[in-house]
Structure 1
Amino acid sequence: MSGGHDLLIVGGGPAGLATALHAARAGLDTVIAEPRRAPVDKACGEGLMPGAVRALTALGLDVPGHPITGIRYVQGPRQVQAPFRHGPGLGARRTTLHDVLHRAVLDAGVPVLPLRVADVRQDTAGVTVPGTGLRARWLVAADGLHSPVRRSLGLEVTTHHAPRYGLRRHYAVPPWTPYVEVHWGTHAEAYVTPLGPRLVGVALLTARRAPFATQLETFPELAARLPPTAAATAVRGSGPLRQSARTRVHGRVLLVGDAAGYIDALTGEGISLALTGAEALVTNLLRGTPSRYETDWRHSTRRHRLLTELLVRARQQPALAPRIMPTAARLPRLFTAVVNALA
Structure 2
Amino acid sequence: MVIPLETEIVVVGGGPAGLAAALAVRQKGFEVCVVDRAQPPTDKACGEGVMPDGVTALSRLGVCLGVDHGVPFRGIRFVGDQRIAEASFPRGSGIGIRRTALHHILQDRARAAGIVTAWGMKVTGVDPEGVRLRDQLIRCRWIIAADGSVSQIRQWAGLSPIRQDGGRIGLRQHFRIKPWSDFVEVHWANGCQAYVTPVGPEEVCIALLSRERELRFTELAAHFPQLGRHLKNAEPTDAVRGGKVASVHLRRVTCGRIALIGDASSSIDAVTGEGLTLAFRQAEALAAALAENDLSSYEAAHRRICRMPFFMARLLLLMDEHHGLRKIGLQALASQPGTFSRLLAAHVGARHPAAASLDILALTVGLLTHAVTLHAV
Shorter-chain TM-score: what band?
Answer: over 0.9
Question: What residue number does 1:276 align with?
Answer: 281
Query: 1:151 Cα deviation (Å)?
Result: 2.6
Corresponding residue to 2:96 among 69, 78, 91: 91
Corresponding residue to 2:339 among 331, 334, 339: 334
Q: Which runs of 5+ in 2 are unaligned?
A: 349-377
Query: 1:71 Cα deviation (Å)?
Result: 0.7
Question: What residue number does 1:286 align with?
Answer: 291
Question: What residue number does 2:373 align with?
Answer: none
Query: 1:167 Cα deviation (Å)?
Result: 0.9
Q: Where do 1:111-260 residues align within 5 Å?
A: 111-117=116-122, 119-123=124-128, 126-129=129-132, 131=134, 132-157=136-161, 159=163, 161-216=165-220, 217-227=222-232, 230-260=235-265
Question: What residue number does 2:55 align with?
Answer: 53
Residues 62 and 249 of structure 1: is their aligned pair in 2 closer, same or farther, counting only changes over 3 Å? Answer: same
Taking every aligned residue pair, what percent have the same amino acid on both sides? 37
Question: What residue number does 2:13 align with?
Answer: 11
Contact 1:117/1:148 (8 A) holds in 2: no
Note the aligned Cα RMSD (angstroms): 2.0
Structure 1 length normalisation: TM-score? 0.93
Deviations 1:235-272 (A, max 9, x none): 11121422233311011110001110112111111111
Contact 2:35/2:123 (8 A) holds in 1: no
Corresponding residue to 2:329 among 321, 324, 339: 324
Contact 2:77/2:183 (8 A) holds in 1: yes
Question: What residue number does 2:35 align with?
Answer: 33
Instruction: Tell me whether 139-148 or 241-250 shows the greater mean CA deviation.
Output: 241-250
Contact 1:157/1:246 (8 A) holds in 2: yes
- Alignment partners' CA distance in 1, 2:347 and 2:105: 24
- Alignment partners' CA distance in 2, 1:213 and 1:133: 46
Letter paired with 2:344: V
Question: What residue number does 2:78 align with?
Answer: 73
Corresponding residue pairs, total: 340
Query: 1:308 Cα deviation (Å)?
Result: 1.5
Structure with greater proportional helix content: 2
Question: What residue number does 2:24 align with?
Answer: 22
Question: What residue number does 2:365 align with?
Answer: none
Query: 1:98 Cα deviation (Å)?
Result: 0.8
Contact 2:9/2:143 (8 A) holds in 1: yes
Deviations 1:305-339 (A, max 9, x none): 22222222342245524433222212221111111
Structure 2 length normalisation: TM-score? 0.85
- Alignment partners' CA distance in 1, 2:246 and 2:70: 26
Instruction: Tell me whether 58-67 or 173-182 shows the greater mean CA deviation.
Output: 58-67
- Alignment partners' CA distance in 2, 1:240 and 1:180: 19
Question: What residue number does 1:62 align with?
Answer: 64
Query: 1:78 Cα deviation (Å)?
Result: 1.0
Corresponding residue to 1:305 among 306, 310, 335: 310
Letter paired with 1:59: L
Corresponding residue to 2:271 among 266, 269, 291: 266
Contact 1:164/1:242 (8 A) holds in 2: no
Deviations 1:134-175 (A, max 9, x none): 221110000112212223333222646441121111000000
- Alignment partners' CA distance in 2, 1:152 and 1:223: 46
Question: What residue number does 2:351 align with?
Answer: none
- Alignment partners' CA distance in 2, 1:314 and 1:176: 26
